[in-house]
Amino acid sequence: MISPTESSPKIHSVRAIHAWLTFTVVVALALGFSPAPAAQAAAVAPVPVAAGAPDKTGIEQFDAQVSLALQYMRTAPDGSTYFDVTAARVGGADAATLAIGEMINKLAAGQRGSGDGTMTTMAGVPIWGNWCGPGHGGGSAVDVLDSICQTHDRCYEDRGYFACSCDRKIVADIRNSIHLMTSGEKAMAVAVSTYFTYCLCNPFS
């Protein structure tokens, strides 16, 4: 049995190894070495969001996704808006951005430009819930995004279709409520926000 004033050779060995490892880490950091890629990936790996659970992702990530999508937004000769999938692929856009682009084009397909600065909307193009989509609306809103789309439709009824003030409001409402949305809802919200940030609108309504 070892007395309180004595120490085992094993303890000395463990302490020596610990000291050496500590010294090695300090030197590596001083020389600018970073942790191994696997360690970095583990450190930043996102926490999975359960289906139907509120997505607590911050506004910063939402803004970044909108900014990425806006890089590939285009205006056709007739004035209509679309997401350039080919340019996005060539530019190395990730799968999430391409998926958002497909949602944008589904939304954009319900609206046509006339070439003279005016737009027309096809009736009944459902995009999300009971209210999101050109000419689509009725019933109770099913979630946060659907409620925002309902408010946008009511705004168009009051101020006229494609009113810039209504489009600015839906973009602001989505951004302010993004933390309340589920992950799937949020992806569509990015698409809707990107579309109404870029598309033509009527500044006089």
Encoding tokens for residue 164? 């810039």
DSSP sequence for 59-93: HHHHHHHHHHHHTTEEE-TTS-EEE-HHHHHHTT-
Is there a contact between 87 and 94 (Cβ–Cβ < 8 Å)? no
pLDDT band (50, 70, 90) for residue 95: very high
pLDDT band (50, 70, 90) for residue 123: low
Confidence (pLDDT) at 1: 36
Confidence (pLDDT) at 10: 37
Selected residue with higher pLDDT from 119 and 58: 58
The string of pLDDT tens digits covering residues 30-68 is 323 333 333 323 333 333 444 555 444 579 999 999 999
pLDDT exceeds 60 at position 18: no
Taking the whole predicted model, whether its pTM rises above 0.75 is answered as no
> CB under 8 Å to 186, separation ≥6 — which residues?
55, 57, 62, 178
pLDDT band (50, 70, 90) for residue 88: very high
Question: Of all residues in the chain, what percent carry a pLDDT higher than 90?
Answer: 55
Residue ranges covered by each domain of the chain: 56-113+126-198
Confidence (pLDDT) at 138: 92
Encoding tokens for residue 21? 């490892």
C-alpha 55/C-alpha 121 separation (Å) is: 32
Confidence (pLDDT) at 205: 77
Confidence (pLDDT) at 52: 52
pLDDT exceeds 50 at position 19: no
CA distances from 204 to 6, 99, 161, 201 (A): 88, 33, 11, 9
C-alpha 164/C-alpha 171 separation (Å) is: 11
Average pLDDT of the chain is: 77
